[in-house]
Amino acid sequence: MLNALLYLRFTSLKNWLISRGRRLRQPKYLLSAIVGCAYFYFFFFRHLGRDAAHHGRNAAATQAMNDLVETLPADWHAALMAFGAFALLVFLTLMWVVPAQRAALGFTEAEIAFLFPAPITRRALVHFRLLSSQLRSLAGATVMMLFSNRWSILGGNALTHTLGWWFIFSALNLHFSGANFTLTRLADLGLSAWRRRALVLFFILVIIAMTIARLPVDARVPAMGNAMDLGPVTSWAIALTTTAPLGWLLWPIKLVLAPFVALGLRDFLVAFGPAFAIITLHYLWVVRTAIAFEDASVDYAQKRAARIAAWRAGDRRMGGTPTRGRPAPFRLASTGRPEVAFLWKNLLSTWQYFNLRVLLGGAAAILAACIWLNVRADWRGFLPGIAVPVLILAGYTLIVGPQFARQDIRSDLVNADILKTYPLSGWQILLGELLTPVVILTAILWLALLTLGLTFHAVDARLDWLTAELRVAIGLGLAVLVPPLVTLQLLVPNAAALVFPGWFHLARTRGGGPEVIGQRMIFFFAQLLTMAFALLPAVGVGALIVVISSHFIGTTVAVTIATLFVLAVLLAEVWCGVWLLGQRFEKLDLSSELRG
Amino acid sequence: MIEVQGLHKHYGSFTAVRDLSFVVRPGEVLGLVGPNGAGKTTTLRCLAGIIPASGGNVRIAGCDIALEPVAAKRALAFFPDEPRLFDYLTVRQHLNFVARIYQVADHEAIAQPLLDEFEIADKADQLPTELSRGMKQKLAIACGLLHRPQVMFFDEPLTGLDPLGIRRMKNSIVKRAREGATIVLSSHLLHLLEEVCTHVLILKRGEKIADGTLAEVAARFSNGDPHMNLEEVFLRATGGSEN
């Protein structure tokens, strides 16, 4: 019977590879695959096979890596093990605390339809599922190796990293299944979910408390001196995780971690045996505790199929698929601008935290915190430390945010047929669909601007010309420009979905692959180029207005006038984009576009 | 009223619909039948303005669908074979959304009787994921009827319904036709179409083979047999195959 199951798995893999290969005959997939493969080669594979100490591209990079190693505490390796073990303990604890459903094994609907009625024992099905998950763990480990192999301070090589990650993923996977089965058995014996959670958390807290109590009094809290010196923290972590009883609890976890953190081949070989033994014990535990999983597996498979269908249809909006109705974000009147109906609808599809109350509360919290920091002389030094990451976040939100805020036509393309029956022009539907991500991203950027405005301090005398009035004018100007800027950013991926629906459909394919990554990279660079092209005229002329007119009317007034000019240009560009895409949407025949 | 003149739709070198002309008047229910791939769904989607026709003229309630799409769509409703609902809107919220799109003032007064008629009033605060397929279908139809359309297009409306649901759907269609709506109904369930439709149009490979009242079309293919049903008429008209 296992032969049949292995045949299923390997034949599926072979045919999947063949079908992906055949797809490369189409230029759009071939181009994306070339870009994706080039990215993978230059970023990952070029460094494989080299000695770990020579992963830097040049002497400067190698020197930077050596400098980093010198700043680390002498016992950083043991500390890495300690922190890693503690992180895994947190994951494992969550596996015993969180689950509320009966245990299920992740069979697909097709596997259920064929295998469940077949003359296969339950144990054979469990073996099949566990072996499949091991293959997936190995694939995931290979991907993680591509990243970790670049960190030369970790030591080891591609093989040791791959196997090290496989041990970690495999252990987590098997422990999750074993914990689920065990919890289901306990639930059948009458242990309620809340009592179980309380017991697990109580057990962990008692272990940690007992361990801390057994430490010397002066070692129970890390002695922090210089904030840049991590030595006391690493020493404390090592002491905590090697003292009983927490040390006993973490000992098998450390055995699983040991192959990954092994510095050389000898250390790896020594660590291999115990780690493999832990995995084997987990495997036997899962097989022995497997209970009737069929009902839960069928339910799980149906929900998984629905999630995949939604994903393929483009529905990857923030918030996921809801299971319960939510109150509306605001009252939608029966008459009025129809575009507002789309805003209302799409807000219901995303996190319920995106509402006016949270926005105003966030602004009030930022205001209070920044004012408090400003009036406290000893805390004022933190202000630049807040401004810099907020500035980075704002830039990231503006450039990458549209890729994540997908509550627009990209997620509603599957409903294009219905949308096109509405008595609305194409531009009205486009505008309506754009409103939600525009509102969300604008709110985030406004909060960032508020923070920047309150935390900015001219620490350098060369910035004395940046008076308070000018800063306010610039801040308000940027705030006014944010909505059209964000809309322009969103127009690009929406245009991609409407103008190249076949390529957009490629991006909705689950499973990734170099051609999907390549396609996303192509669209991302196209977005950056389009934005530069759209912004250059407006920003250029705006800067010219400021430079010329500031001599006559003062810089503050000049900035205000320039802002209004830039706003007019951006609004005109937005209007053109929305109208053109609306026309495109009216002519779109999705079934015809996807035939190729 | 629906007026179609020379409707033509092609995808590259493939012609899905060729030179199709017909008229459906208020109170009439036209059954659109044909083998798989005959062009029924393509025809309906062209009439509803979902896809642009490659040629020809379509007028819905006196408005050209190509030149005055917004005015034409205000008068029509399209019901696809698979109910298309928004996963994150409850039943009540779906009606609220549609009311705003179609500018249906005081929609609550219209929505509640619809929910009662389709027996989904007790599901008003549930999401589509919590509804059975039949209930989803009823919700989709309630949304389409909210703005009191003069023209309705149904694409396989009886698929997936239980016998009671089929009976209620038929009654609903007949009721709307009696109230003056113009209805086009596409389905493979020919014996059920016989109970509901006043006219029939048979398509094969994108071309009209027959068009008229049930009696007229039956007479054309019956060879004098007075007891021929729509299924037999269909098989004779299409030659019993898709090609």
Inter-chain CB proximity B89 and A336 less than 8 Å: no
For residues B176 and B216, membership in a common domain is answered with yes
Question: What is the identity of the amino acid at A551?
Answer: H
B 27-46 residues inside an 8 A Cβ radius of A: 45
Residue B79 has pLDDT above 60, yes or no: yes
Domain ranges of chain A: 70-309, 313-593
Residues B94 and B110 in one domain: yes
Its pTM stands at: 0.74
Angle at alpha carbon of residue A482, lines to A480 and A483, rounded to 5°: 90
Q: List C-alpha distances in Å: A535 to A448, A475, A521.
A: 21, 18, 21
Domain contains B224: yes
Name residue B11's beta-bridge partners.
B14
Output the 3-class SS for A13-77.
HHHHHHHHHHHCCCHHHHHHHHHHHHHHHHHCHHHCCCCHHHCCCCHHHHHHHHHHHHHCCCCHH
Phi then psi dihedrals of residue A582, to 5 deg: -60, -40
A125/A115 Cα distance (integer angstroms): 8
Whether residues B193 and B218 share a domain: the answer is yes
Minimum-distance CB partner of A422 among B51, B80, B101: B101
Q: What pLDDT is attached to residue A114?
A: 76
Q: How far apart are CA A332 and CA A495, in angstroms?
A: 28
* pLDDT, tens digit, 9 for 90 and up, residues A140-153: 898 888 878 766 66
In the listed set B106, B133, B148, which residue is the last one of a domain according to the structure?
B148
Q: What part of A 87-106 touches B (C-beta under 8 Å)? A: none
Shared domain check, B40 and B133: no
Q: Does B55 touch chain A (CB under 8 A)?
A: no
Give chain A's radius of gyration (CA, Å). 29
Looking at beta carbons, which residues of chain A come within 8 Å of B125?
325
Which of A283, A259, A246, A83 has its CA nearest to residue A168? A259
Quick check: B35 pLDDT over 50?
yes
B100 touches chain A (CB under 8 A): yes
Please tell me which residue of chain B has the smallest CA distance to A350. Answer: B88
Q: Which residues of A touch B86 (CB under 8 A)?
A: 345, 349, 415
Q: Is B48 helix (H, G, I), strand (E, B) or coil?
A: coil
Answer yes or no: are the C-beta atoms of B108 and B75 closer than 8 Å: no
pLDDT band at A313; cut points 50, 70, 90:
low
DSSP β-ladder status, B14-24 and B2-11: antiparallel
End-to-end CA distance of chain B: 32
d(CA A462, CA A54): 42
- pLDDT per position as a tens digit, B188-239: 888 888 889 999 999 989 999 989 998 888 888 777 776 777 788 788 787 7
Regarding whether B204 and B117 lie in a shared domain, the answer is no
Last residue of a domain, one of B148, B163, B179: B148
Q: Which residues of A touch B126 (CB under 8 A)?
A: 325
Q: Based on the structure, what is the number of domains in chain B?
A: 2
Same domain, yes or no: B130 and B34: no
- Alpha-carbon distance A313 to A324, whole Å? 21
Q: Do residues A565 and A545 make contact, with C-beta atoms less than 8 angstroms apart?
A: yes
Determine the Cα–Cα distance for residues A21 and A239; give it in Å rounded to an integer.
53
- The edge-to-edge listing of strands for the beta sheet with B182-186 is B76-79, B151-155, B182-186, B29-33, B199-204, B207-213
pLDDT attached to residue B221: 77
CB atoms B84 and A415 under 8 Å: yes
Q: What domain range is B60 assigned to?
A: 2-75+150-238
CATH of the domain at B223: 3.40.50.300
Out of A324, A336, A592, name the one closest to residue B100 (CB). Answer: A336
Gap from A502 CA to chain B (nearest CA, Å): 16
DSSP, res A239? H
Query: Token pair 């009317």 is at which residue?
Result: A553
Q: Answer whether A341 sits within 8 Å of B102, measured CB to CB.
A: no
Asked whether B118 and B79 are in contact (CB, 8 A), the reply is no
* Tens-digit pLDDT profile for residues A430-487: 999 999 999 999 999 999 999 988 887 655 666 667 777 888 888 899 999 999 999 9
Helix (H, G, I), strand (E, B) or coil at A202: helix
What is the structure's pLDDT at A354? 79
Q: Round to whole Å and give the CA distance between A141 and A171.
A: 12
Contact A583, A426 (CB under 8 A): yes
* Nearest of A310, A313, A352 to residue A330 by alpha carbon: A352
Separation of alpha carbons B134 and B118, rounded Å? 10
Q: In what order do the strands lie in the sheet with B55-60?
A: B14-24, B2-11, B55-60, B63-64
Nearest chain A Cα distance for residue B87, angstroms: 7
Of B77, B90, B102, the CB nearest to A325: B90
Which pLDDT value is given to residue A403?
83
Q: Do B96 and A323 touch (CB under 8 A)?
A: no
Q: Is A295 exposed, middle or buried (0-12, 13-18, 19+ CB in 10 A)?
A: exposed
Q: Do B50 and A422 touch (CB under 8 A)?
A: no
- C-alpha–C-alpha distance, residues B46 and B72, integer Å: 12
Residue B63 DSSP one-character state: E
What's residue A575's pLDDT?
A: 96
Query: Is B243 among the domain residues?
Result: no
What is the predicted ipTM? 0.86
Kindly tell me if the per-residue pLDDT of A69 is higher than 90.
no
> Could you say which of B102, B118, B148 is where a domain stops?
B148
What confidence tier does A596 reach under pLDDT thresholds 50, 70, 90?
Answer: very low
pLDDT score for A447: 93
* Residues from chain A contacting residue B123 (CB–CB below 8 Å): none
B69 interfacial to chain A (CB closer than 8 Å):
yes
Question: Is the domain of B115 the same as that of B36?
Answer: no
Name the phi and psi angles at B200, rounded to 5. -140, 145
Tokens describing residue B37: 């791939």
Same domain membership, residue B98 and residue B57: no
Per mean pLDDT, which range of A269-273, A302-306, A584-588 is the poorest?
A: A302-306
Whether B124 and B227 map to the same domain: the answer is no
B67, B91: one domain: no
Is the pLDDT confidence value at A194 over 70? Answer: yes
Q: Confidence band (pLDDT; 50, 70, 90) for A68?
A: low
B109 touches chain A (CB under 8 A): no
Evaluate whether A52 touches A157 at the Cβ level (below 8 Å): yes
Q: For A420, which of B50, B90, B102 is closest by C-beta distance?
A: B50
Q: What angle separates helix B107-117 from helix B91-102, to the nearest 10 degrees? A: 130
CB pairs under 8 A between A and B: 105
B70 and B96 in a single domain? The answer is no
Nearest C-alpha in A relative to B16: A592
